[in-house]
Amino acid sequence: MARIGPSPAPLPAGSPFANEKEARRFAGPLPYTFDYEQETHSIIRIRGLRQDWNPQPVDVEVRKNTFLQQEPFCRATPILANAFHVANVPYQWFRGVRIPLQEEAA
């Protein structure tokens, strides 16, 4: 559950980040996403471009996260680093680029 308020929420207790500026570097999609194309033994690199990116730190309560109950994550102790709310972000994907992988030497 997220509590969206008029002012940014502080970092959660135990966050590995020193401050909001450091946490904000990890708030959102990276400029590229990747996928493996088995048919051509290639990596597909896709560039994304976002505008008006203004993530707002929010206070959240995580009641259940089944993803973290599976291997190998179930053996770790999860830490809430931070949570952000974003809205109305214009986002554009560019055509993917195929990057052939080298065959492994036998």
Write down the pLDDT at residue 36.
96
Q: How confident is the model at residue 53 (pLDDT cuts 50, 70, 90)?
A: confident
The pTM of this model reads 0.64
Classify each residue of 8-41 as buried b or exposed e, where b means 16 or more C-beta atoms within 10 Å of its C-beta.
Answer: ebebbeebeeeebeebbeebeeeeeeeeeeeeee
Higher pLDDT, 94 or 3: 94
